[in-house]
Amino acid sequence: MGDFTGFFLIQIALIAVVLVLHTYIGLHVIRRTLIFSDLVLDQLAAFGAMVGIALGVRYGSSGSYWLSLVAVLIGSGLLAAADPRDKRIPREAAIGILYALALVASLLLGDKLSGGGDYVTKTLAGAMLWVSWPLVIVTAAVYIALAVFHYVFRARFIALADPNSGLRRRRLWDFLFFTTQGIITVLIVPIAGVLLAYAFLMIPAAIAAMFTRGWFRAVALGWSVGIVACALGLGASYRWNLPYGPSLVLAMGLFFLVAVLIRSLRPASRTPAEGAAS
Amino acid sequence: MSEFFSLQGLPLLACLLMTAILGYVGLHVIRREVIFIDIALAQIAVVGAIAVHILLGVHEDSLAANVAAFGSILVAAAFFALARRRIHQIPLEAVIGVTYAIAAAGALFLVGIAPGGHSHVQDMLAGSILWVTRADILVSAPILAAAALVFFIFRRPLQAISEDYEGARAAGYAALRWDYLFYVLVGVVITTVVRMGGVVLVFSLLIIPPVIATMLAESWAARLAVTWAVGAVAALGGLGFASLHDFSVGPSIALGLGILVALTGLWRRWGNAG
């Protein structure tokens, strides 16, 4: 029982750290409709690891992490470039095409790799490893560094979300944005799996964005709802021995559906003060 | 040459069938900016099928499982149509993207708690269009033809709403009801073709030819013609490439589509300017 409490605390601590940055990045992703970007980066991280396997680098080793990081950096460049000038084509469509091609690259490579199909499946479903304190500390350190970076340059990143902001070197800031998303993807996916990582990014942010326009307020709201949902999901998964990742996603999903219901019954009457508050 | 067609005739036929219907649906999907709809609806149908498979013990491809899959699509279609009307703070694409996560978690959850639960992720992704049988096509073709007929009969309201939701409402269309019909039709089409082609091929055929067509043509009819031409070229090229070099067919065709969209994009950006 003591072990369980210990694991529970480590996992909640890690989720608490992870959720801050994920909610913030997720708000950008949702407000700018770049929903597919996370799947692109996930898939490229998996592709990097598969290239490693083809070259004889063991899955999960540090070499494999570096290859994932390289693949993700190339992906950030492609995502920043995939901004159609033709305004009839939504950027989300261009990003969706990148996702399809990243998946195609993985599947074609998997064709030529013995047991390649297993890796495609494994990276999709997520191989959940037990979280340990050193891992929490490394992850937390990188997350905090990235959060500080985003806090310092918040004006630039928030200007990205406004097409009329006149931000200079938009491509560069876009690249840095996707690079941040890519780094957290490479770190979190081996721990949580693709699906839970994607849910951390999207669900708390989507809930928050439905209720407030301010950035700081939205991060606070998303984080609070997210941590409550995750604690409930994690508790349920321990109590009734349910699958870990899906329980967390479903708990957050339940809050999302309730939020949609509230918003449907009570459509917004937003005051300008609310947006200006933060 | 005749050997190629005797081996690849059925897969080619299946690809052309998919291209025909997905090209038109894709034009709507691009215009509405709901790129995730394909993956989300496919996943939601899977949850329905898995749920009855586990609860009732019926086979995953039985009538009951198909009815459950269709039932979950009806529910999801109503949810998306309502969300489009009532939720204004976040894009519908985000709602659909989150719904996908919930559905995927639901499937993993059910598989995880069921004794002996299993999933065929790789098969579902890559598809097995090379092993498409005459029976598959005989079952799919009437369903797709019926969906196409409904799309054709109601093309005016459906296209008006895809072009401009609020404008169509102002013009007197019952947008909520037409939206519901639209998402049900998309769900039926997607679940039918995913069985034949797998997620990667279906997603690529849904998004890429319509993006190329949107770059090259203006009217719905001209764009539809371009999507069909692009899909047919990629299907022939991809099948040839896959059989020559022993790759999976679905991803090979998707690769061909990717090359075509990259070339078109580059040509539009630099070819026209220079």
All structural domains of chain B, each given as residue ranges with its CATH number in brackets, are 2-127+135-265 (1.10.3470.10)
B207 touches chain A (CB under 8 A): yes
Residue A195 has pLDDT above 70, yes or no: yes
Interval B153-169: pLDDT, tens: 999 999 999 988 989 99
A:B CB pairs within 8 Å? 168
> Which residues in chain A are contacts of B252 at CB distance < 8 A?
108
Q: What is the pLDDT of residue A276?
A: 38
Q: What is the pLDDT of residue A65?
A: 83
**Token pair in block for residue A251:** 């708990």
Chain B residues within an 8 Å CB radius of A210: 87, 89-90
More confident residue, A61 or B146: B146
Q: Do B121 and A100 touch (CB under 8 A)?
A: no
Q: Which domains does chain A have, with CATH numbers?
A: 2-265 (1.10.3470.10)
Measured between beta carbons, the chain B residues lying within 8 angstroms of A86 are 214-215, 268
Region B90-106: what's the mean pLDDT? 92
| pLDDT band, very low/low/confident/very high, at B119 (cuts 50, 70, 90) | very low
Whether the CB-CB separation of B183 and B37 falls below 8 Å is answered with yes
Measured between alpha carbons, how far is B269 from A11 in angstroms, rounded to an integer?
48
- Looking at per-residue pLDDT, the higher value among A237 and B209 belongs to B209
User: Which band of pLDDT confidence, cut at 50, 70 and 90, is reported for residue B71?
Assistant: very high
Between the two ends of chain A, the Cα-to-Cα distance in Å is 44
| pLDDT for position B152 | 93
Interface test mutation site (partner B, options A85, A87, A88, A107, max chain B beta carbons within 10 A): A107
Q: Comparing A273 with B52, which gets the higher pLDDT? A: B52
Cβ of B263 under 8 Å from any chain A Cβ? Answer: no
Q: Is the pLDDT reported for residue B235 higher than 70?
A: yes
User: Which one is predicted more confidently, A80 or A60?
Assistant: A80
d(CA A3, CA A137): 19
At residue A184, does pLDDT exceed 80?
yes
Using pLDDT thresholds of 50, 70 and 90, give the confidence band for residue A128.
Answer: very low
Task: Check A243 against B112: CB less than 8 A apart.
Answer: yes
CB contact under 8 A, B105 and A94: no
Q: How confident is the model at residue A120 (pLDDT cuts 50, 70, 90)?
A: low
Question: Is the Cβ pair A264, B82 closer than 8 Å?
Answer: yes
Residues in Cβ contact with A171 at an 8 Å cutoff, skipping those fewer than 6 apart: A80, A81, A83
Nearest to A243 among B93, B108, B211 (CB): B108
Instruction: Tell me the chain B residues in contact with residue A121 when contact means C-beta distances shorter than 8 Å.
Output: 121-122
Q: Is the pLDDT of residue A177 over 60?
A: yes
The residue written with tokens 């993006």 in the block is B211
Looking at the complex, does the CB of residue B227 fall below 8 Å from at least one CB of chain A?
A: no
- pLDDT attached to residue B10: 83
SS (H, E, C) A9-63: HHHHHHHHHHHHHHHHHHHHHHHCCCCCHHHHHHHHHHHHHHHHHHCCCCCCCHH
Chain B, 59 to 78: residues with Cβ < 8 Å from chain A are: none
Mark which residues 122-141 of B lie under 8 Å from A by CB: 122, 125-126
Tell me the pLDDT of chain B averaged across its residues: 86
B211 and A246 in contact by Cβ < 8 A? no
Burial class of residue B177, CB neighbours in 10 A (0-12, 13-18, 19+): exposed
Label residue A278 by pLDDT band (50, 70, 90): very low
Q: Give the pLDDT of residue A122.
A: 56
Across the interface, of B87, B122, B252, the residue whose CB is closest to A263 is B87
Neighboring chain B residues of A94 at a CB cutoff of 8 Å = 211
Q: Given pLDDT bands bounded at 50, 70 and 90, which one contains residue B48? A: confident
The answer to whether A149 touches A72, Cβ cutoff 8 Å, is: no
Q: At residue A271, does pLDDT exceed 50?
A: no
At residue A114, does pLDDT exceed 70?
no
Which are the contacts of B166, defined by CB distance < 8 A and separation ≥ 6?
none
pLDDT value at A76 more than 70 = yes
**C-alpha distance from B27 to closest chain A C-alpha (Å):** 10
Residue B190: both structure tokens together? 């997607």
pLDDT digits (tens, 9 = 90+) for A209-267: 999 988 999 999 999 999 999 999 989 988 888 888 889 999 999 999 999 999 988 76
Provide Rg for chain B, Cα atoms: 19
Cβ(A72)–Cβ(A44) below 8 Å: yes
CB contact under 8 A, A268 and B89: yes
Nearest CA in chain A to B246: A111
Nearest CA in chain B to A106: B251
